[in-house]
Amino acid sequence: MTTQDFSLLGAITSAIRGLRHFGIRSRTLKSRLAVDVATLNAFLYRNRNQFRNDKGHASLSLVAKAAKRFLDELNLDKLCSDFASTLPLAIDVANNGNDQKELHLPSRQRCEFLLVKIHGSFLLVEKLCIYCALSADKQVMRVRLGHFWNMAMNGLAAVSGIW
């Protein structure tokens, strides 16, 4: 085997480990985000009549909708764990150089599907960060104004947990 083959095997091994770690990490972050979104939804439901024409309240609802969409539509943890289950074990990749067996990897279309889903989730998280920044700015304006500053602090706390 050449040094290029060893570097390729090392890259495949690190990609497998990274994908499995990403699936586990996204599962824990998703559970934390679900708690923060539930808190924000309860806050929005409680104050929907009092602040129905407020721009800060509308921006909070945009944050809640984007976060709910991220939680419901994108199951990155499930996609990554399903994809990682089709990959060979890291020890099989390392032993491949000695035995000269073939590596059976997932199809190109499945890899592209996972990449498209990850890219879509990145765009959704980017949009969520923008909504959080705008909402936090509006809540800080309300605190500076001094009118219903305690409600603004509650909204700011809910947004900062998501952001």
What are the tens digits of pLDDT across the range 35-78? 888 887 887 887 777 777 777 777 788 888 888 888 887 777 77
Q: Which residues does 32 contact at the CB level (< 8 Å), separation at least 6?
A: none
Q: Which two tokens stand for residue 1?
A: 């085997």
Domain count, the chain: 1
Out of 82-86, 116-120, 133-137, least confident range: 82-86
Q: How many angstroms from the chain centroid is the CA of residue 89?
A: 26
Compute the mean pLDDT over every residue in the chain, rounded to the nearest whole number.
76
Answer yes or no: is pLDDT of 120 > 80.
yes
Interval 6-17 mean pLDDT: 69
Q: Which residues does 160 contact at the CB level (< 8 Å), separation at least 6?
A: 132, 136
Contact yes or no for 74/124 (Cβ under 8 A): yes
Answer yes or no: is pLDDT of 92 > 80.
no
**Domain boundaries, position 81:** 3-162
- Cβ atoms within 10 A of the Cβ of 131, count? 22
Contact yes or no for 36/158 (Cβ under 8 A): yes
Distance CA 54, CA 148 (A): 12
Q: How many angstroms from the chain centroid is the CA of residue 73?
A: 11
